[in-house]
Structure 1
């Protein structure tokens, strides 16, 4: 080979070598530039990309506030539990462990696989909410990719059905659905927190994470309910409903001076901890949702209106002979012919004729105003979910018969809570206060609707109801005076009133001399041998108040024992 060709080959090889060297230098410079760009000029890009794949902001569930009775006894508490969920983007639908997971959770494995295939774009699917600790432990030990546990809280009601209608319950997401759980949802529910968590290659969260925002627990609510009186009322009402074969029942106890609800019970009841198979009928808080015609329990209101008008006084005599009274072609009847009686006796004997004659002597607008002053026709002011508004017809539409029947409780409607509030007005000397379910540290302000003297006068008449000759002798409480009124109401039907279905009512104050408690009992459709309020509803009052007087340490007001012995015979 000539020297010229040899030099040519050497020059070509040198050029190629230099080109390779230059290429490596350029690649190195490119890598160096990229390194500088990533590490110095724009370091956040890859960090964000990595975070997007491995970091998640996980919500921290806030602890729901407790519901307590007036003495601090828990009525609703939240206990920590776990819910099981999976990430369809990570979990392998064909993983053999999936069958084991399904067995642990008690669900169908094919259902889990189907949900994974149908939701490939999602990162979160609940498998089972709020599982028992032993189940969550088994899931954790399974170590299935993409399957994790989320801490939540489960609501638990220690007193079960005894306070179910008052407290209510929450749904699966711990949101109040009924009762005071719903009323005070904004206070009870907390503010969720946030925590940044790292996920491993299997999609599982590792470590404790970094807190971003702490969870804020909900507020505790202390109710006016006295759990001791609640138990007494619940048992007494349940026994009465069962004994008399009744369809349902309700009872309410109010503090006369404050308007606090000390007890509210219903039958039938339900267990808020296990609502499987519970009907909407059982969930209904009848004490606030169900309206009824109050019957003779409003006769004291009629007497109040008569005395207030000045047309009647304690010595006024009313002729009820022969025990019937014709008004606009309709016959108003008494249980028997009471003859000529005074106002006190008309209360004691529960005379429909006397009440009608009093009402017909009064100006319709005045009578309406006095009934309205007892809270008839309006709600109780308690803001309880589902409370039905009372009904008091416009007096401008009243016929003569309407005025006569209103006097003994037909033609208007109220509920158990509203009627109890009306009796607190008689008990506290004429002050109207809103009902409250929250414990009060001091007596709430109210407005005077009747004079104290007038209320004391009518209360004295009502004491005769539980004494010999009265309609509620079975409501007598040893060593305590009771001011009360019974009611027995025919239930309305299409075209009039049924002759076979009744509501038995009782409303009472104790001690009558200086009332502390007002209680109303309603028994719907008793089917036993007795259906009168004095025989069916009044004993519930006595059963509860014997225990209540002792528990509240209320001093006896020395009712003569001889009268009580006769009353219980």
Structure 2
């Protein structure tokens, strides 16, 4: 049986009732709209006739990452500070409060008046990045219209000791120099933002939680620097520059097996925490961005090129005559020639310019150029530091004979100190040129083969003889360690001519010679204290830095001392 249909389904509303129902629905909707408008315009807790409000989207600054040394010691950190803001139209200072506020902010009263006179601005900065104590003192004044923002201020715990490496940021923590500039994106993090309601006195009264985006902290950056070695190097180069009445000085310390930069210092330096004394000229990292003619510290590469190409051996005898050599219309001389015939090893030991020039003249210019190029001269050292210099190495096809001769002892070619230190890694790794870095490494790099193991060892042995009796580098000796290295003394090129009275004094070496751990390169610009040879000015600096560093690092000694003769020597300081 089919069920019967109810009559309810068939009902139809009359036209009158339909219109009435529609009217009721519209009326309810209008009531809701009216209520919403009323709440918004008349009962809003943030906007009344007596208390107008404004809505702001505020940036939340990200905490910049720390820069540390290889052992985690902080070299750059960001500390929380306050920035003082004011709503000029709402600030009404008494004469007494005006004087107190300008005193706390350490600004002139006229400048405070000028900033508060900007009535057309909703908010102006009175002083950025003040200490919490000063913020507390300002709050105690109870001045309407003054508020605070949270910010971060960069602080450098080691000041001038690490300034040329770490660099600095501006007031907004944007990297301006050094590592702070090169790794800005890594360190800076990502800012957040929030939507805030403020009263007419610029005080926050509420915020929208749905529009809150927290900042992301920047990454920390562990450097390859060992602050202990950095302190040694800084102390010694500062002392040497002052004692020798020099223009400046620089030191680079490398791990002889990893290529990590363990210390890099320059003097004069600056304190990045005191911006009033900051000058771009003094912020230059001389060891990386400045170049100089390295003098006799390049002689080992000349010898290595000739040995590697088969033109000489360490025992090949070279006749230097009376210590004078004519090349065209120019003359090359030795300061203190000791005998007529010298082996290649002896030429390095006593730093003979005539002998080095004769070695260079035995081979094509391309061979010497190739060696210089292979060890990185004339190219960026790719240390990861902004503004690093490439140096100057002209193509061999442009060399004159006299130029090839002088390049063999480091004139007519320019390098940075960091390039020179890196080049010496070929003598500490069996012929491999290591990449260098300011950032801590987790594994040893392979490096690039530049010469044979045999040549590397042969030249390394020659460099050991430099610090033995009769060599130019006896003041580089270190008690208990076999040391290898080379002195350098070069006339400065000033206004297109070589100065007769201004020099670069340098020493580059490594220890322990049997198993090299550290390379130290030292250069002192224009010493005027009575001495200028690299063996008397730079070698003692090397000795102090590498000796203290090896002992601190617990590197075993490789030399048994019978008698200490270094202080009693009157070494030849030529070179």
TM-score of the two chains, using structure 2 as the length reference: 0.88
- Superposed CA deviations along residues 19-67 of structure 1, whole A, max 9, x for unmatched, are xxxxxxxxxxx99986532436998899999689343332222111111
Moved more, 536-545 or 199-208: 199-208
Q: Check 1:46–1:353 CA distance in 2 against 1; reply closer, same or farther (3 A cut).
A: farther
Aligned to 2:53, the other structure's residue is in SS state helix
Q: Encode CA deviations 1:58-104: one digit per residue, 9 max, x unaligned.
A: 22221111110001111111111101011235434789744543333
Check conservation: 2:115, 2:126, Cα contact below 8 A: no
Give the unaligned 5+ runs of structure 1.
1-29
What whole-Å deviation, never above 9, does each CA across 1:148-188 have from its counterpart, x for those lacking one?
Answer: 11111111111111111111111111111111111111111
Partner residue of 1:8?
Answer: none
Distance 1:543 1:131 in 2: 42
CA distance in 1, matches of 2:399, 2:42: 82
Q: Is the 8 A contact 2:488 2:506 kept in 1?
A: yes
Residue 143 of structure 2 corresponds to 144
SS in 1 for 2:282: helix
Secondary structure of the structure 2 residue equivalent to 1:561: coil
Q: 2-side partners of 1:263 and 1:48: how far apart?
A: 62
Residue of structure 1 in register with 2:268 after alignment: 268
Partner of 1:37, secondary structure, is: helix
Q: Distance in 2 between matches of 1:208 and 1:135?
A: 27
Within the alignment, does 1:516 sit opposite 2:514 as a pair?
Answer: no
Could you tell me how far apart the structure 1 residues matched to 2:566 and 2:115 are?
74
Counterpart in 1 of 2:225? 225
* In structure 1, C-alpha distance between the alignment counterparts of 2:187 and 2:168, rounded to whole Å: 12
Q: Which has the higher helix share?
A: 1
Tell me how far apart the structure 2 counterparts of residues 306 and 48 of structure 1 sit (CA, whole Å): 89
Indicate how the Cα distance of structure 1 residues 115 and 316 shifts in structure 2: closer, same or farther if over 3 A, else same. same
Match of 2:281 in 1: 281
2:53–2:197 contact (8 Å) kept in structure 1: no
The TM-score normalised by the length of structure 1 is 0.89
- 1:547 counterpart residue number: 548
Say yes or no: does 1:367 pair with 2:368: yes
- SS of structure 1 residue aligned to 2:252: strand
User: Within 1, Cα distance between the matches of 2:231 and 2:358?
Assistant: 42
How big is each residue's C-alpha offset from its partner over 1:487-528, in whole Å with a ceiling of 9 and x where there is no partner? Answer: 011011234211111110100011111111111100011111
1:426 and 1:459 in contact (8 A); partners too: yes
SS in structure 2 at match of 1:518: strand
| Post-superposition offset of 1:478 | 0.9
Match of 2:15 in 1: none
- Tell whether the 8 Å contact from 1:55 to 1:197 is kept in structure 2 after alignment: yes
* Corresponding residue of 1:114: 114
2:168 matched residue in structure 1: 169
Kept after mapping to 2: 8 A contact 1:476/1:568: no
Alignment of 1:26-65 (within 5 A): 35-39=31-35, 53-65=53-65
Deviation at 1:280, TM superposition (A): 2.8
What SS does the aligned partner of 1:144 have? Answer: coil
Q: Does structure 2 retain, via aligned residues, the 8 Å contact 1:301–1:371?
A: yes
In structure 2, how many angstroms separate the alpha carbons of the residues matched to 1:559 and 1:351? 30
How far did 1:202 drift? Answer: 2.6
1:145 Cα deviation after fit:
2.6
Q: Distance in 2 between matches of 1:99 and 1:242?
A: 45
Deviation at 1:110, TM superposition (A): 4.1
Structure 2 spans left out of the alignment, 5+ residues: 1-25, 570-575
Aligned to 2:126: 127
Distance (whole Å) between structure 1 residues aligned to residue 491 and residue 276 of structure 2 = 35
C-alpha separation in 2, matches of 1:245 and 1:299: 27
2:519 & 2:42 partners in 1: Cα distance? 72
Q: Is the 8 A contact 1:380 1:435 kept in 2?
A: yes
